[in-house]
Structure 1
Amino acid sequence: MPECSAARVVADRMIDTAEAVLASLDGTQRDQAAWPWSEATEDERRRWFYTPTDHGGLPVAAMTPRQYQRTMALVASGLSEAAYTTVTTVMGLENLLDRTEGFAGFDFARERGRDPGQYRLRIFGEPGAPVWGWRFGGHHVSLNNLVMGGELVSATPCFLGADPAGSPLLGATTLRPLGGVEDLGRALVRSLDEEQRSKAVLGTRAPVDIVGGNRTRVGPGDRVVPLGDIFRGRFADPERQARMDDSYVAIKRYYGITEADNAAVELTAEPRGVPASSLNSDQRGQLLALLGCYTGRVPEELIEREAARYAGPLLDQVHFAWAGSIEPGGACYYRLQGPRLLVEYDNAPRQANHAHSVWRDPENDFGADVLGAHLAAHHA
């Protein structure tokens, strides 16, 4: 299927499902879910989170079952089958996490802290308009899509996390929503020879989180954002804020993380790590498989388009970096960085049982690049 028609097929599906959601909402619900496309709402469109905070929009808890179903149809319209399976599994983990914390964890300034009803939808602009977009997010899920000219032009930042990262199932098996995403990275670093590994491994300690955090834009010099700052504002209750800040300090102390460790993994203009040009053919295949865990989050029609960005010699410019233990079960972090690419994976909190993963296009997150070109061409 040609690229343009594939992007249009996906956009048409998004339009149909978004219109179905909006048509089912009453006035109060629509005020929460639907915002106009304007300069005044642009800052909100580019604001995103992955913590259990108010992500902005209509929560699924305030929807009827039919509205909730239509919302999930919209979510599915922007994801591959594997990615949708992962998203819905991550949402369900909220009930498991609540049990892990004894049904008495942080309340996060709301009645129930670990609440699967707090995933929220917000649509910006009118579906089918020349430019419009939508966002769906809650704890460990952040999906951001921009449609322009009848085509899906941006699907990043795209964040998926899992807490617990691994949970026991009947039959002596384990539920690991991001297990393959971690295992492929660990297999790649373990395949490196001594010279390759000396370039790839940035440090022996994994950072406590992805380095780019929830910044609207990522760039050189960025370091890990303290946990308490990845919420919609600081907590009004000083005690609650202090508990959040203390939990960040505690995990750093547990792993012995220093500022030198954070400096080792900070983002740089020139990618750190081992370039794909230094990998052998088998390792390049492993790198492509790892990349596919991120570019494969888009609908099936667009996976080939995303993968083509790193086909053949283009892959040479992608760098693979690692920090932490290379042994299974150890705290770990990896990064893939190249032209218009920043992938991060981290699994350090809860004794390496709390994973974060994100796929970003630093030049075109939220459609910034294509939107800027559109505005320059048509609204100069």
Structure 2
Amino acid sequence: MSSLPRDSSAGRTAGGAMAHLAATLIDSCSAQQLPSLRREWADEDRTTWFYTPTDHGGLALSAQRPSQQQMTMRLVAEGLSAPAYNTVAAVIGLENVLDRVEGFSRDWGRERGRDPGLYWLRIFGSPQDRLWGWRFGGHHVSLNYVIEDGRLVAATPCFIGADPARSPLLGGGGELAPLHAVENAARSLVAGLSDAQMRRALLHPTAPSDIISGNRARMTPVSVPAAMIHMNDAKLWGDLLDDPRMAQLAEAIDQNAEAASGYGSDDHERLAIRETPSGLPASDMTPDQRADLHALIRAYESRAPEGVLAPTPESLDGVHFGWAGPLTEGNPHYYRIHGPDLLVEYDNTQRHANHAHSVWRRPESDFGFDVLAAHRSNHPH
């Protein structure tokens, strides 16, 4: 489901605009900037992605001239719908809010712990090539794109988070809450389930400390939370763990989050992502419930540029919805939408349920895996 149509004019428009902007940015770079910005298409870094406050690899906004920063953000805008771009821009700005929340004292082994200049762009291959791609990411943002024959063919994994998830604004009750709509839509869906449906949808009475898929490049039939494994292979923190002091800090953050969830190995096994989806199947929902679930899925798919994705089938064949945690707003919670070539995860658990993560994935076609498989099949030698 949600495949990119092979004749998508919107995909060609987006791919062409991306190629122009990427080529212009490359031409503007100095000899010192280019090694950070560019990698070969086949570089293994292409499928590496993070959502933690570590070096994501590439040319950071803070290392770019103002005109280059604008060009980078124009490229980001081409990869997103207008609402998604606004959300990503707000998330980047939240680094300043989070800095204040933490007393301007967070130490990540650099001059400034929370820094909106630390979002990195990397280009894989050349915009003139038949196959190329790019990545933009930093704390709570990871955008990944593949362009084939001038057409945008992959726009996942797409991660957007928010910390704080809710920040007060002037005007008596106003809030900056970039992910509030997809949180409330899911809660509304759950609130409308019958008791029998809820027993099937409830994956666990309490929420996990993070999304289960973590930042894996490939989904496996069973996945445990990345927090349980990243200290061994730097799955979430990258080179930051080379510094023993930072490794200790990252471990403490994960341990505190795990302790707050109260999870043990049996709980993680219960939440595992398997080949057969868990939760309530859409086929056992009422028409109104399916319409609500369909709208929630479209909210995630609308992160992509308008018209690029084929419409999600309203039948939702094979799609399941699961929830973990209490329903009352303000409590830690998690939900998952899982179906054919579709995985959505959302959690708001940390910082007393004021720190949200969301990811939209197409497990069979993330990073253009389906395109590459088709190419290898047609060109075996």
User: Please, what TM-score do these two structures have when normalized by structure 2?
Assistant: 0.94
C-alpha distance in 1 between matches for 2:366 and 2:24: 26
Q: Which SS does the other structure have where 1:128 is aligned?
A: coil
Task: Report the aligned-residue RMSD.
Answer: 1.5
Of 254, 262, 278, which aligns to 2:284? 278
User: Are residues 1:339 and 2:343 paired?
Assistant: no
1:254 corresponds, among 233, 250, 260, to 260
What runs of 5+ residues in structure 2 fail to find an aligned partner? none
Deviations 1:61-94 (A, max 9, x none): 0111100000100000110001000000000000
CA contact (8 A) 2:335 2:346 kept: yes
Is 1:245–2:246 an aligned residue pair?
no
Residues 188-214 of structure 1 show CA distances to partners (whole Å, capped at 9, x for unaligned) of: 111110111111001111110000000
Counterpart residue identity of residue 223, structure 1: V
Does residue 31 in structure 1 map to residue 32 in structure 2? no
SS of 1:116's partner is coil
SS at match of 1:147: strand
The yes-or-no answer on 1:195 pairing with 2:196 is yes
Distance across 2 between alignment mates of 1:234 and 1:77? 30
Tell me the residue number matched to 2:114. 114
Which position in structure 2 is the counterpart of 1:235? 241
3-state DSSP class of the match of 1:123? strand
Residue 33 of structure 2 aligns to a residue in which SS? helix
Shift of residue 3, structure 1, vs aligned partner: 4.4
Amino acid at match of 1:98: D
Task: Tell me the amino acid that sits aligned with residue 149 of structure 2.
Answer: G
What is aligned with 1:297? 303
1:268 counterpart letter in structure 2: R
CA contact (8 A) 1:10 1:301 kept: no
Distance 1:191 1:24 in 2: 54
1:83 aligns with 2:84: yes
Alpha carbons 1:132, 1:146 under 8 Å: kept: yes
Say which SS state the counterpart of residue 253 (structure 2) adopts. Answer: helix
Post-superposition offset of 1:259: 2.1
Distance 1:233 1:35 in 2: 18
Residue 379 of structure 2 is matched in structure 1 by: 378
1:311 aligns with 2:313: yes
**1:13 counterpart = 2:17:** yes
Deviation at 1:141, TM superposition (A): 0.4
Match of 2:123 in 1: 123
Whether the aligned pair in 2 keeps the contact of 1:159 and 1:356 (CA below 8 Å) is yes
The one-letter code of the counterpart of 2:285 is: L
> What are structure 1's unaligned runs of at least 5 residues?
none
CA contact (8 A) 2:135 2:145 kept: yes
**Identity percentage of aligned residues:** 47
The 8 Å contact of residues 134 and 146 in structure 1, kept in 2 or not, is answered as yes
Measured in 1, the distance between the counterparts of 2:290 and 2:222 equals 28
Q: Which amino acid aligns with 2:40?
A: P
**Residue 233 of structure 1: CA displacement?**
3.8
Partner of 2:45: 44
| Deviations 1:18-42, CA, capped at 9 Å, x for gaps | 11211211111111112222x3x1x
Alignment size in residue pairs: 371
In 2, Cα distance between the equivalents of 1:191 and 1:316? 21
TM-score (norm 1): 0.94
The CA distance in 2 between the partners of 1:52 and 1:318, in whole Å, is 32
Q: What is the DSSP-based 3-state SS (H/G/I as helix, E as strand, rest coil) of the residue aligned with 1:134?
A: strand
Deviation of 1:138 (Å): 0.4
Partner of 1:153: 153
Letter paired with 2:180: G
Q: Is 1:141 aligned to 2:145, yes or no?
A: no
